[in-house]
Structure 1
Amino acid sequence: MSSATAPHRVSDAPSLVVSLENSPEAAAAARDVAGDFLKGLGPPPGRDASDAVVLIVSELVTNAVRHSRTRACTLSLAAGPGTVTVSVADASPRPPCERNPDVRGAGGGFGWPMVRRLAVSTSVETSSQGKTVSAVVAREGGPSV
């Protein structure tokens, strides 16, 4: 991982905040941070929940890199008794939008619907400083828990 994309730790578990430079390596760095965070929880979430959290982290950070056109984003992870909350903030006020997926593979459109299916709930908060996209994942499985 290059020094330009290395996360900067701001707080300790059960919550964690890292700043990431918006670069192609940001999603990989964020996945690593999320995996380490989840392993450090006691008890750690189930495998399905952990996979969902890492996938959501990857998607939200990738979206911030691809669509926000800003220099950095902030990943926040917070564990509650039955949930893990993933939040990604960036300086763009433009919220994610659902669009028809491009099944030919050129235009995307699969990520935001996937995040919404994997999470118990999602939210988008916008302000003059940008936006924060959050997803809450049940620690014992998918949205049906």
Structure 2
Amino acid sequence: MTHWPDDDVILYDGVCVFCSRWVRFVATRDVERRFRFTAIQSPYGTRLAQAFEIDPSDPDTNAVVHGGVAHFKSDAALIVLGSLPGWRWTRALFAVPKPLRDGVYTLVARNRYRIFGKYEECFVPDASMRARVME
């Protein structure tokens, strides 16, 4: 696991339609405004990705820094979901073996552009989210 000084930061692919919807989903439900977001295409996101050995030009995972530790793939998604009101039940999915969870995650991640589409340029959050974006 990799440590990072900023906490509760979600690293995502800003040109991925699915990933950008994920960010909006989290932001809408994160009533405590705990999580902040950074696109892998931003200067901060690129530094974060490189620190985690994620290729910024071909990201294969999202990541979340939680408790000072970076989590990837299904662990990242479940940590975020499990922190949201009404979604804490998803913590039970940690009982599913990690290779199976990550296998499903990887299948979706590899096909995300084909299934969900891709923006021409990085997703720009609306004004209500802008204060939570780290660039």
Could you say whether these structures have the same fold, taking a TM-score greater than 0.5 normalized by the shorter chain as the test? no
Between 1 and 2, higher relative CO (CA 8 Å, sep ≥ 6) is seen in: 2
Q: Which has the higher helix share?
A: 2
Task: Please give the TM-score of this superposition, normalised by the length of structure 1.
Answer: 0.28
Task: Please give the TM-score of this superposition, normalised by the length of structure 2.
Answer: 0.29
